[in-house]
């Protein structure tokens, strides 16, 4: 089902993460011997869409302890999104307020194509073993003057509460100082796990100020140790994972919140 694009969407960041198997150099030490070569090849292939490379401070981490740590970014211009990040055994596509699924999907397809094209095939097959599609959303919330549990119940149809017997006004203040709730469910199509998280956090406004916010995260992770043999399988998984996250978002929020985001 096609969903509308929201003008005032609460999105903080959309992240697609792809990981592949590394070679065991010694017990407990895993490396990607093709990493330096792949960076150069990807720079040539991504230059049309992401011509601004950024070397991250993590690029100074020794190879023996840098497995699955992003070290390089490819951006359109300085500080502009979307962007691609890569490290030994990992590549990500990241977007924020400019996110539109159709554009994100097309960029994901291209990223997968370019990764397979850039990775050498001579004796080193690219074995993708982890896919993660993750959305982080945030809503401004005044925790000092409002009840977060009532808000989640009213605006998200979700009940999170503790037994009233736990509270004694003389010793325990009922007002919540912090909270972090997580729920995980298996998914059938695509195979994997759905994770939902509600937590107190900070959201940066247009003035660069950090304000209290309700942070909620929706993520779909592929099954552990499943190898994706080809690009088509990977893209199909990503599309189906998005269908789950999209359905979760729109089924979770109330009509009032939807109007607020439109």
Give 175-205 pLDDT, tens digit per residue.
Answer: 777 889 999 999 999 999 999 999 999 988 7
Using CA atoms, how far residue 158 sits from 125, 187, 198, 216, 254, in Å, is 45, 20, 10, 12, 11
Q: How confident is the model at residue 140 (pLDDT cuts 50, 70, 90)?
A: very high
What's the chain's length in residues? 262
pTM comes to 0.93
Whether the bond between 223 and the residue before it is cis, its omega within 30 degrees of 0, is no
CB-CB contact of 53 with 164 (8 Å) = no
**Angle at alpha carbon of residue 22, lines to 16 and 25, rounded to 5°:** 150
Strands 83-87 and 90-95, by their bridges, are antiparallel
Q: How far apart are CA 111 and CA 101, in angstroms?
A: 15
Nearest to 196 by CA among 179, 184, 178, 210: 184
**66-112 residue pLDDT tens:** 999 999 999 989 989 999 999 999 999 999 989 999 999 999 999 99
């Amino acid at each position: 089902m096609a969903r509308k694009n929201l003008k005032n969407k609460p999105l903080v960041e959309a992240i697609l993460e792809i990981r592949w198997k590394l070679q065991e150099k010694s017990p407990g030490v895993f490396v990607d011997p093709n990493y330096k070569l792949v960076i150069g090849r990807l720079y040539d292939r991504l230059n049309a869409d992401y011509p601004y490379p950024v070397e991250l401070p993590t690029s100074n981490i020794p190879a023996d302890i840098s497995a699955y740590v992003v070290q390089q970014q490819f951006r359109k211009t300085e500080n502009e999104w979307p962007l691609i990040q890569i490290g030994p055994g990992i590549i990500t596509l990241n977007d924020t307020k400019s996110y539109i699924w159709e554009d994100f999907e097309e960029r994901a397809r291209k990223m997968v194509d370019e990764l397979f094209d850039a990775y050498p095939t001579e004796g080193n097959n690219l074995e993708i073993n982890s896919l993660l599609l993750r959305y982080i959303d945030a809503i401004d919330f005044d925790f000092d003057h409002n009840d977060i549990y009532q808000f989640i119940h009213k605006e998200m149809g979700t009940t999170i509460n503790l037994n009233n017997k736990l509270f004694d006004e003389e010793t325990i203040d009922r007002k919540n100082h912090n909270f972090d709730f997580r729920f995980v469910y298996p998914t059938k199509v695509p195979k994997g796990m759905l994770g939902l998280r509600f937590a107190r956090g900070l959201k940066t406004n247009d003035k660069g100020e950090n304000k209290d916010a309700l942070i909620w995260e929706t993520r779909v992770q592929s099954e552990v140790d499943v190898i994706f043999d080809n690009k088509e399988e990977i893209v199909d998984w990503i599309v189906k994972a998005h269908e789950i996250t999209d359905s979760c978002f729109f089924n979770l929020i109330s009509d009032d919140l939807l109007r607020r985001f439109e």
